[in-house]
Structure 1
Amino acid sequence: MANPILREKLNSGKFFVVPGIQDMITAVIANKVGFDIVYGTGYWLTASAWGLPDAGIATYTEMRNRMETLARTSNAAVIADGDTGYGGLLNVHHTVKGYEASGVTAIQIEDQEFPKKCGHTPFKRLISTEDMVEKIQVAVDSRTSEDFVVIARTDARESEGLDGVLRRLEAYSKAGADVLFPEALHSEEEMRKACAVLDKPCMANMSNHGKTPVPPAEVLAEIGYAYAIYPSLTSLAACAAMEKVLRDLKDNGVGQPDGLFDFSEFCSLIGFEDVWAFEKKWGKAG
């Protein structure tokens, strides 16, 4: 069941930030910190589960399973990366139905050809505006709850420039998209123009070391975005930390470095206390 909190936040007009979640360890840490909306990132959920690039290799079934697991693990509403809808119009219908049944609150669909590419990598190819308009119309028609949010993303900046981005998103807005996603803009000037021209809430993708600047949240709010996702933030931070401790282990034999997360607390976060309570009630000694 879609969580109404996302629509409530969009209607409030107050800017908010949404962390990307690459695995269920990140999900329980986000629970601890207290985020009420999180982003199921296709790039990093694919990387963490299968060690594969975000290039349309993971299937709908695999990604639905990852999103369903995230929705179950997280206390927050989940915005889910739905790639291209995994095919044509019937695939989009099936994907929206499946994602909504899995417990996510929003789906993001992009206008690339299938299989897609990461928005901050080269060689992206787009479908026509008309074909994407139909995908958005099908997505909107396929949802069962008005709390379920449809996000339309365009990757047109690389091939059609900012004017192409705006033309496409205007068409996607008319098709019924709730949120507009101008991917991989190149400057704050472009970001400001998009937010000023478009008539629906716009989201920003703060992909660290990608094509788009990553200004502070207060600047994004002033630019006019409704919210920003940070899909790579936790993943790149974790990669840096893991490389450091692994190098210290390999080079210096350090197996108990300073700064580790408390193991007992993590056992609690992941649900071991419920297991121990069950064992205490039902376990048999010997």
Structure 2
Amino acid sequence: MTTTNSPGARLRHLLAGPGLITAPGVYDGLGAHLVARCGFSAAYLTGAGVAAAGYGLPDIGLLTATEMVDRARVAAEALGDVPLIADADTGYGGPMHVVRTVRAYEQAGVAAVQLEDQAFPKKCGHLPGKELVSAREFEDKLRAALDARADENTVIVARTDARGPLGIHEAVDRANRYAAAGADVLFVEAPRDVDEIEQIAAQVEAPLLINMVYGGLTPDTAPGTLSALGYRIAIHPGALLVPGVLAGLDALRRLGGTPPADFTPGPRGLFDLVGLREWSAVAERYRAGTPDPA
């Protein structure tokens, strides 16, 4: 089925036009209203933001599909006609789980579903220690996502996290494989410098999305530069989240609180505020091969 005025159709109309689509990150209804009222043409449902601000958790694969779909529905309703690009992590399982995820996200009103090739449980793309599934396994998930769409205009975004564990060449190779498998937009996570940003633009044969993470691994790059290179979408997951955290810490300091002295406003610092060290200790305790405590 094709719906000409669906969220996906509106996003595809933007992709067919000129210029870079800037999509600020949202994770609740208030932020979605702010993005719409400030005139942005698209928004991004940030998994990291939903985890941290919505549930007080680090972005290490602790959220469920149901929790993300609930937030997607709230954000999509608040955004109105502004299309929402929604983070769906690994699809929350194998191909059959991806089918259910895509159907639920569409019913929630999203314009695009973003899937990634990390193994479960995933991690924020700007944290170390990521593990991947094989490219073939992820291609199976992509085919499931494409087949599951009720509206053929729903955009499927394929993200590869191969740059960290396997290097930029493997990341580019995977992105091109995923484009050949039918993904509508390609997302190579966490290029390390401008040369890599340029390499991705030159060598990946598909519409491109880039992630501008405050304090992350990718250098902040001007919209005009990204547009000139051919990038079509720039997401800014921390656009509302990071200033909100900084303002909140300052407000609590003025009330007599003592903010953490070692806090830095990047992904690691943010996730430490919501228990990354503690959850990492839990994971390590139950890691296969770890001896039981005496």
TM-score over 0.5 (shorter chain): yes
> Is the 8 Å Cα contact of residues 192 and 224 (structure 1) preserved in structure 2?
no
**Post-superposition offset of 1:146:** 2.1
Q: Give the corresponding residue for 1:14.
A: 19
For 1:201 and 1:9, the matched residues in 2 are separated by 12
Measured after TM superposition, the shift of residue 11 of structure 1 is: 1.4
1:5 aligns with 2:7: no
Cα pair 1:2 1:145 within 8 Å, conserved: no
Using the alignment, how far apart are the partners of 1:13 and 1:213 within structure 2?
Answer: 24
Q: 1: CA distance between counterparts of 2:79 and 2:139?
A: 32
What's the CA shift for 1:224? 1.9
The residue that corresponds to 1:55 in the other structure is 60
Alignment of 1:118 onto 2:124: yes
Q: Please tell me whether residue 230 in structure 1 is matched to residue 230 in structure 2.
A: no
- Are residue 69 (structure 1) and residue 74 (structure 2) matched? yes
Contact kept in structure 2, 1:15 and 1:221, CA below 8 Å: yes
Q: Does the Cα contact within 8 Å between 2:21 and 2:41 map onto a contact in 1?
A: no
Deviation at 1:3, TM superposition (A): 4.0
CA deviation profile, 1:25-77 (whole Å, cap 9, x unmatched): 21121122122310000000111111001111111111111111111122221
Shift of 1:249: 2.5
Task: Give me the TM-score of the superposition, normalised by structure 2.
Answer: 0.83
Deviations 1:92-118 (A, max 9, x none): 011001101111010000000011110
Identity of aligned residues (%): 39
Unpaired segments of 5 or more residues in structure 1? 252-286
Residues 137 and 3 (structure 1), Cα distance of their counterparts in 2 relative to 1, 3 Å cut: closer
Match of 1:37 among 33, 42, 51: 42
TM-score normalised over the length of structure 1: 0.85
CA distance, structure 2, for counterparts of residue 2 and residue 9 of structure 1:
11
Alignment of 1:151-166 (within 5 A): 151-166=157-172
Check whether the contact 2:186–2:206 (CA below 8 A) recurs between aligned residues: yes
Q: Distance in 1 between matches of 2:165 and 2:65?
A: 27
Residue 196 of structure 1, aligned match among 194, 202, 208: 202
Question: Which stretch shifts more, 238-247 or 222-231?
Answer: 238-247
Runs of at least 5 residues in structure 2 that lack an aligned partner in the other structure: 1-5, 258-294
Higher mean Cα deviation, 52-61 or 20-29?
20-29
Are 1:140 and 2:146 counterparts? Answer: yes
Alignment deviations for residues 158-185 of structure 1 (CA, whole Å, 9 cap, x no partner): 1111110011011100110000000000
Distance 2:104 2:51 in 1: 18
The whole-number CA distance in structure 1 between the counterparts of 2:27 and 2:72 is 10
Moved over 2 A (4+): none
Residues 80, 107 of structure 1: 8 Å contact kept: yes
SS in 1 for 2:77: helix
